Amino acid sequence: MFDRLIRMPVALTVPTFALLLVVFGIPIASLFFTSLNAPNFSLINYQAFFAQSANIRVLFQTVEVSVVATMICLIVGYPTAYLIVTASKKQRMALIALVIIPYLTSGLARTYAWIVILGDRGVINNLLLQIGLISSPLPLIYNRTAVYVGMVHIMLPLMILPLVSTMMGIDRSLVAAARSMGARPLTAFRRVFLPLSLPGVRSGCLLVFVFCLGFYITPAALGGLRDAMLSTFIAAQVHSQFDISRIATSAFILLVIAIVVLSMLGLDFSGTPGSGGNPSRKSWTGRIPFRRILKRCCDEIADPYRARRWKTQLYHAGTDRNWGKFVKTVFIILVMSFLLFPGFVVVIMSFSAGAFLEFPPSGFSLQWYRSFFGDPSWNGAALTSIEIGAEVAVLSTVVGTLAAFGLSHMSPKVRGKLTMIIITPITFPVIVVGIAAYLGLMQLGLIATKPGIVLAHSLGAIAIVVVIVSATLANFDRTLERAANSMRAGPVQTFLRVTLPL
């Protein structure tokens, strides 16, 4: 039976699509029909939404905040990823680990840390008051700047990791060849390295933008009343009136924005270089004979100048290299400090000896840990979290690996379409996925149950497993499987003894 399943790639994806359909697909379709006022089918809900100027302002504000946060993540994340890739192997592994650590930390905990850092009596204001630079606290929190700081801190790893994955696949000898032909470092980077890294830029920007569209905890905690986002409005509707028509309409407006951006730019998880642009492709002006002749004449005139400039660059190479290394080191330290400092603040505060959590603590004590482990409700919650995490990990790993293995044996066209369907839970705004999952679990009678929570968390976890395993299988040597089959190993034995370990 298992041999037959492995010989049928589509059958291996059935568990994934069954879970996706029941918990997410059918509810999202139901949500769409609800927004259209089914069964009468009208646009009255959308007309009511756009009839209120406040809703339009919040909608534009949501897009604006998401775009700005994405651009900041790109500006900071691209050079960070480049420095990580160009570092030594040990340094690269350490830096990647430092980027991943804060991403694995709860977003709620990191948001609370920024409240402590940016508050009127927070770390920054207390420091400035003590050294006498200010006489009253600066308004660092409950404004748009605080929202950007919190969102960039949470989303920056999601920008860096796709960039690192893409840059790792770029052949560095191409840049060296451009430099050996007289290209300046900036020119070699702009004409060779940058076009090859565009797939990572596109994937990182799209992921960050879509996730920012669904943010509601960070803007609500760090922003002011004028910094509300559409996701915050949806969450408020869920917690108060639960007007399903308004919720569905707002959710689908947010979803349409995400779908439009995704369809315009696409999403590339392959990490393969070269798809973002072709540096060797000539423009139409390069095919004009007069232009080639003019370029040759200019090159002959400029050759003596280039020779003198090359000698000057060689003479100053040592000094420039030292300054460049210093600037790179300072930059990477600042970025890593930005990512890790909020977590450090939370950890230090947990050892506070005061009656309230404070930073810096007036003294150190284990009182909060004794209170935590001495409270049965906290212990039960911690145990439940561990159980749910373990169950989600096992379920998503097994189901996602089977799906990725099945997809790897399909044609590229079919594989691409099915993969895009599987990863929809991580490419749609979080608030929309949450509402759809809630409706789906409510139909199954699994609301407020452990199996329901496991299924809801597995939606995104399975998508991540499929992306990671598919990337691994893309570089897998299929001749190893054929060699095992030639030695009379069955499909199951080949999978367990050859494919799975690799």
Residue 464 amino acid letter: I
pLDDT score of 482 more than 70: no
Provide the pLDDT confidence category of residue 484 given band limits of 50, 70 and 90: low
For the chain, the structural domain boundaries read: 1-35+375-502, 41-276+325-366
Mean pLDDT of 356-364: 74
Give Rg (Cα) of the chain: 27
41-276+325-366: in CATH 1.10.3720.10: yes
Query: What is the pTM assigned to this prediction?
Result: 0.76
Whether the bond into 273 is cis, omega within 30 of 0: no
Residue 137 is encoded by which pair of tokens?
A: 């606290």
pLDDT score of 120 more than 60: yes
Query: What does the angle CA 49 – CA 55 – CA 57 come to, to the nearest 5 degrees?
Result: 145
In the three-class reduction of DSSP (H, G, I as helix; E, B as strand; rest coil), residue 363 is classed as coil
Neighbours of 165 (CB within 10 A): 20
Q: Encode pLDDT of 410-446 as tens digits.
A: 777 787 788 888 888 877 777 788 888 888 888 888 8
* Beta-carbon contacts of residue 265 (< 8 Å; ≥ 6 apart): 202, 205, 206
* Beta-carbon contacts of residue 7 (< 8 Å; ≥ 6 apart): 491
Residue 76 is encoded by which pair of tokens?
A: 């900071």
Tell which wins on pLDDT, 170 or 462: 462
Q: Encode pLDDT of 28-77 as tens digits.
A: 888 888 888 878 888 888 888 888 888 888 889 989 999 999 999 999 99
Q: Encode pLDDT of 286-295 as tens digits.
A: 444 545 555 5
**DSSP label of 364:** B
Rounded Cα gap, residues 1 and 491, in angstroms: 11
Q: What is the pLDDT of residue 278?
A: 45
Tell which wins on pLDDT, 185 or 112: 112
Residue 171 sits at φ, ψ, to 5 deg, of -75, 115
Residue 233 is encoded by which pair of tokens?
A: 């409005």
Tell which wins on pLDDT, 388 or 299: 388
Mean pLDDT of 233-256: 80
Residue 337 is encoded by which pair of tokens?
A: 């400090």
pLDDT score of 183 more than 80: no
Q: Which ranges of 189-288 would DSSP assign to H, the alpha helix? A: 194-213, 217-222, 230-239, 244-265
Rounded Cα gap, residues 136 and 132, in angstroms: 10
Tell which wins on pLDDT, 56 or 276: 56
Rounded Cα gap, residues 331 and 80, in angstroms: 8
Provide the pLDDT confidence category of residue 246 given band limits of 50, 70 and 90: confident
Q: Are 432 and 214 in contact (CB under 8 A)?
A: yes
Q: What is the pLDDT of residue 490?
A: 60
Mean pLDDT of 339-365: 80
Q: Are 482 and 472 in contact (CB under 8 A)?
A: no
Mean pLDDT of 369-394: 86
Rounded Cα gap, residues 26 and 48, in angstroms: 25
Q: Are 73 and 159 in contact (CB under 8 A)?
A: yes
Residue 446 amino acid letter: L
Report CA-CA distances (Å) from 77 to 150, 270, 368.
15, 19, 36
Tell which wins on pLDDT, 367 or 264: 367
Q: Encode pLDDT of 125-181 as tens digits.
A: 888 888 888 888 888 888 889 999 999 999 999 899 888 888 887 777 777 777 777
Whether the bond into 491 is cis, omega within 30 of 0: no
**DSSP label of 113:** H
Q: Are 457 and 388 in contact (CB under 8 A)?
A: yes
Q: What is the pLDDT of residue 36?
A: 86
Q: What is the pLDDT of residue 485?
A: 61
Name the average pLDDT for the chain: 78
pLDDT score of 370 more than 70: yes
Lowest-confidence pick of 168-177, 224-233, 262-271, 323-332: 262-271
Residue 323 is encoded by which pair of tokens?
A: 């300054």
Q: Which residues does residue 364 pair with via DSSP β-bridges, in sequence order?
A: 352
Output the 3-class SS for 48-106.
HHHCCHHHHHHHHHHHHHHHHHHHHHHHHHHHHHHHHHHCCHHHHHHHHHHHHHHHCCC
Q: What is the pLDDT of residue 498?
A: 60
pLDDT score of 281 more than 50: no
Rounded Cα gap, residues 229 and 55, in angstroms: 10
Chain-centroid distance, C-alpha 85: 18
Q: Encode pLDDT of 250-275 as tens digits.
A: 888 888 888 888 777 665 544 344 44
